[in-house]
Structures are given as C-alpha cells and as structure tokens.
Amino acid sequence: MITSPGIELTPAEQERQLQLQMSARSPDLMRFTGGLWWSLLPASSLAGHSVGVSGEWPDHYRHAGASMAQTVARVSRPNPLLRSVGAFDLTLLVGAILPLAVITLTFDVAAADREQGRWGLVRAHASSLPRLIISRCFVRVGALALLVIVLTASSVLILPTGQWDAAAVGNVLIWGAWLSAYMAFWATLAILSNALPLSASGAGLLLLLSWFITVIAVPTVVERVINRSERMSQQSELLAFEADVRRQSELEADEVWAEFREQHPEIQLDQESPQQEQLLRDMALSEVIRSRVRTRTEAYFRRFLNRDDVLDRLQLLTPLLAWRTAADQCAGTSLRHYVEFAQQTAAFHEEFLSCFEPMSLDGRELSLSDIQNIPQFDARQLQRRLHLPPLLLSAVSLATWIAACGFMARWCFRRNANQ
C-alpha cells in the first residue's frame, strides 16, 4: 500500500486497507478500489507560506479506480498552516502589507527634517545628501527585511510542514534574496519620493499611490486580462469530458470488444465463466476511455502551462507579480509545479492500472509478491524543483524596477540639489 506521512485515512479506510492487504486475491478487486492509492507530493518547506496559492494546490491525489479525470481532480486537504492560523498568506502579506510598513518607515526621511526646521542644519553638515537619504531608507528597510527573513526561516522549523534539509535551506536563501530585492524596490521608491521637494504628507501620498498602482491596480488588470485570454482550466470540464467519452464508448462497446479480441487472439474465453468475458470487456472499454481522456488531459495541462507562461512575461509590469512568481517557485506552488506533479500522477496512474492487466488476462489470483510489486508512487517521485526561467525573469523585473526608480531618484537629486 502507498502510505505517506501527512495523509490521514479515516478508520473505515484504514480497516478496508488492512482487509485488502491481508485478503485480496483478485487483481480486479485491487484495481477498482479507488481511494486507497495515493500520489503524494511532500510539502516544500515554504509551501505553508503560500497559502493563497496552495489553498488550490493539490499536494496529493487519490487514485480513483479507472478514472483519470477523477484522479487528477483536486482533492481538498487543509493546509496545516491554514488550519492553525486561519486565512493567512505570507506571499500576499509580504507583497502587499510589508510595503505599507516600508512606506510608514520611510515617507518622511527627509520631510521630517524639512518640516521641523532641521533641514538647513542637516544639509549644511551631511557630506552627501543623497547618501544620507539612501542610507536612512536602506537601514530602515533592511532591518525590516532581515526581521521578516529571520521570522520566516524560524517558522519553517515550527510549522508542521517544515523540515530543514539542503533543499529547504536553499529555498529559504533564494526566498530571502528575492524578498530583499522586493524590499529594495520599495526602498528605492522611498528614496525617489524623498529626493523630491515634497512635504511628508506629499511624499506619503505619492508612496501610497505607487503602492495602489503596484499592488492593487496593475495585478488586478493583469488578472482580468489573463483570465480573458488564458482561462483557467476547470476540473469539472475534464470530468464532464470523461463522462461523455464513457457514455460514447459504452454505445460502441461491441466494436471495442471486437477490436480487443483481434488484438488479443491468445485469450481463450471460458464459456462457462461469463464473469471472465464481462471482466475483459470492462478492461477493453476502460482502455479505450483512458486513451481518449489522455489526449484531453494533456491539453488540460497545456492550458495551465500557457497561462503560467503568459504570467511569467507579465511579471515585468509590476514588482508584485515578480515577487509572487519567485515566492511560488521557492514554495513549489506555481502552476508549473502543479502540472509537473499532475503529469507524474497521471503517468503513475497509467502504470498502476496497467500492472493489473496481465494478471487479469491470465485470470490468476494475486500473490503476496504481486501485491508487493504494485507500483508505488512514493518510491519514484521527484522533488519540487526550481524553474530557472521564471525565476530569472522575476529577477530581471525587480532589477529593472529598482534601476528605473534609482535613475529617477538620481535625476531628482541632481535637479533639486539646492532644495
């Protein structure tokens, strides 16, 4: 049996599992016991922090007998972090709320001195005004970023999903680097607003407007555009398609059976056992259904990948999308990760079902070694991996935004050098 930590079977399921393990002798019985085989993707150390994404993120599949669509349909399983702290999304928190903290800390770096009459004294003594404003902004934002990184790294240890291994350390380091870059963007924006001869309220309003555009307006427009052009595939579509195929195939059951007989002339039917013929007819039919659904499933995965590709390109529009992309990569909760895991599961599902076919065709009972040889997804699954292209594009986006704000701040410093 495939068992993994984190999946809790109900007492009834455990009972059934035990009974099957102890007494199953029929390959068909094993094959159609949907719900007792699982494909599991172990949670990445940061997966718990991307609840906004992973709320929809299937980290396991329940193999549903012969149905591919039901197998790759998402199974709702409460995220451990979501279960313990309620609706919480660190990616959103960092992306949307942390910039507000940065704005609060930096909006009056220069304006407070201006408004409290110290500006003349500060300007007369600071060896370089730009350097002073830059260091004030970066010290404040740097302290904040460091605090968030330390708290996040610590929480990886505390959370139920957390585990410290080399991959986790690497992910946390990359996550920290991207968080620093995202914070650096906000610090540079704060420097730009402080380079302008604005009052504290003026600088604050400018930063809040930038926050609204970066965090709310542009991502909302992007989402609307992408929902129109690259609509998210729905599980129900796949299930409905499979039901249609099943219905259609059942109407063609005789043709399918004839074709099967042609392909397997070696099978001798026992005229005294109508169950054997029925069993083989079912097997032939489900083979045809699987083949037709496979094509549709691949198209279904392709739509996710297309959507992710478009999202990757659009992350250049706002640093928030760049940050979310990087966070999803580190947490292993991007659509690309979802598709990879679903594809692995689908391939396993095929293999799992096909392992029973020879036994069914032979008409023999399962032996202990047969049960032990049932394919186990756990034994072969791949770890979540980082996808470099979206991560690099995210870095390019953040670097571009930082550079743009930096150049504008430099220009403003030069233009307002005497103010």
Q: Which residues contact another protein (rule: CB under 8 A)?
A: 116-118, 120-128, 132, 418
Q: What angle do CA 342, 386, 351 make, to 5 degrees?
A: 25
Which residue number, 136 or 246, has a Cβ lying nearer to another protein? Answer: 136
**Residue of 25, 56, 57 whose CA lies nearest to 41:** 57
Which residue number, 211 or 413, has a Cβ lying nearer to another protein? Answer: 413
Which residue number, 119 or 260, has a Cβ lying nearer to another protein? Answer: 119
**Residue of 44, 139, 63, 71 whose CA lies nearest to 334:** 44
> Least distance (Å) from another protein to the CB of residue 188?
22
Q: 21: Cβ–Cβ under 8 A, 6 or more apart, which residues?
A: 1, 371
Q: What are phi and psi of 216, to 5 degrees?
A: -105, -60
Token representation of residue 102: 């940065």
> Least distance (Å) from another protein to the CB of residue 118?
5
Q: Per-residue b/e over 140-154, b at no fewer than 16 CB within 10 Å?
A: bbeebbeebbeebbe
Which residue number, 123 or 294, has a Cβ lying nearer to another protein? Answer: 123
> Least distance (Å) from another protein to the CB of residue 131?
10
Q: Which residue matches tokens 């990757």?
A: 312
Phi-psi map region of 35: left, alpha, beta (phi>0 left; psi -120 to 50 alpha):
left
> Least distance (Å) from another protein to the CB of residue 128?
6
Which residue number, 114 or 290, has a Cβ lying nearer to another protein? Answer: 114
> Least distance (Å) from another protein to the CB of residue 183?
25
> Least distance (Å) from another protein to the CB of residue 124?
4
Which residue number, 116 or 295, has a Cβ lying nearer to another protein? Answer: 116
Yes or no: say if 207 and 103 are a contact pair by the CB < 8 Å rule: yes
Tell me the one-letter amino acid at 64: A
